[in-house]
Chains A and B, each alone.
Chain A
Amino acid sequence: MMDGKTPMDLDRIRADFPILHQQVFGKPLAYLDNAATTQKPQSVIDAVREYYEHDNANVHRGVHSLSERATAAYEGARRIIADFFHAHSEREVIFTRGTTEAINLVASAWGRANVRAGDEVLITHMEHHSNIVPWQMLCEQTGAILKVVPINEAGELLMPEFEALLSERTRLVGVVHMSNALGTINPVADIVGLAHAVGAKVLIDGAQAAAHLPVDVQALDCDFYVTSAHKMYGPTGIGVLIGKEALLDAMPPYQGGGDMIRMVTFEKTEYNDLPYKFEAGTPHIAGAIGFGKALEYIRGIGFDTIGNREKDLLTYATTQAEGFDGLRRIGTARDKACVLSFVLDGIHPHDLGTILDREGVAIRAGHHCAMPVMQFYKVPATARASFSIYNTEAEVDALFAALHKAQEIFA
Chain B
Amino acid sequence: MFDLRDLYQQVIVDHNKSPRNFGKLADFNHQADGYNPLCGDKLHIYLKVDDAGVIEDVSFEGEGCAISVASASLMTDAMKGKSLDDFRTLFDGFQHMVTSDLAEAPDEEHMGKLAVLAGVREFPSRIKCATLCWHTLHAALQDSAEPAKTE
- Residues of A that sit less than 8 Å from B by CB: 25-26, 346-351, 354-355, 358, 365-367, 371, 374, 380-381, 405, 409-410
Contacts and interface: CB of A to CB of B under 8 A. Distances in A.
Contacts, number: 51
A410 B67 CA distance: 12
A381 B39 contact: yes
Interface of B: 1, 4-5, 7-8, 13, 16-17, 38-42, 63-67, 123, 125-126, 129
Given A26-B1, A409-B5, A409-B8, A351 B67 contact: yes
B125 to A, nearest CB: 8
Contacts of B17: 346, 410
Contact of A380 (B1, B5, B41, B126): B41
A366 B13 contact: no
Given A354-B123, A410-B13, 14 more contacts: A26-B1, A348-B64, A348-B65, A350-B39, A350-B65, A350-B129, A351-B8, A351-B67, A358-B4, A366-B39, A409-B4, A409-B5, A410-B16, A410-B66
A25 B40 contact: no
A25 B7 CA distance: 15
A25 B6 CA distance: 15
B150 to A, nearest CB: 13
Contacts of A366: 38-40
Contacts of A381: 39-40
A42 B126 CA distance: 33
A354 B127 CA distance: 12
A317 B27 CA distance: 50
A410 B40 CA distance: 21
Contacts of B39: 350, 365-366, 381
A380 B13 contact: no
Contacts of B41: 350, 380
Contacts of B63: 380
Contact of A25 (B1, B13, B67): B1
7 tightest A-B CB contacts, nearest first: A348-B65, A350-B65, A380-B40, A351-B66, A351-B65, A409-B8, A381-B40
Nearest to A352: B65
**Residue from B1, B65, B123 with most neighbouring chain A CB atoms (10 Å):** B65
Nearest to A353: B125
24 contacts: A25-B1, A348-B66, A349-B65, A350-B39, A350-B41, A350-B129, A351-B67, A354-B123, A354-B126, A355-B8, A365-B39, A366-B39, A367-B40, A371-B40, A380-B40, A380-B41, A380-B42, A380-B64, A381-B40, A405-B4, A409-B5, A409-B13, A410-B8, A410-B17
Contacts of B65: 348-351
Contacts of B66: 347-348, 351, 410
Contacts of A358: 4
Contacts of A349: 65
Nearest to A365: B39
A374 B40 contact: yes
A144 B70 CA distance: 45
Contacts of B67: 350-351
A371 B65 CA distance: 17
B13 A350 contact: no
Contacts of B42: 380
A134 B9 CA distance: 44
A374 B63 CA distance: 13
Candidate in A25, A348, A410 with the most chain B CB atoms within 10 angstroms: A348
A142 B126 CA distance: 41
Nearest to B10: A409
Contacts of A374: 40
Contacts of A367: 40
Nearest to A348: B65
- Scoring A354, A381, A410 by chain B CB atoms within 10 A of each residue's CB, the highest score goes to A354
A184 to B, nearest CB: 21
Contacts of B38: 366
A358 to B, nearest CB: 5
B88 to A, nearest CB: 28
Contacts of A410: 8, 13, 16-17, 66
A189 B124 CA distance: 45
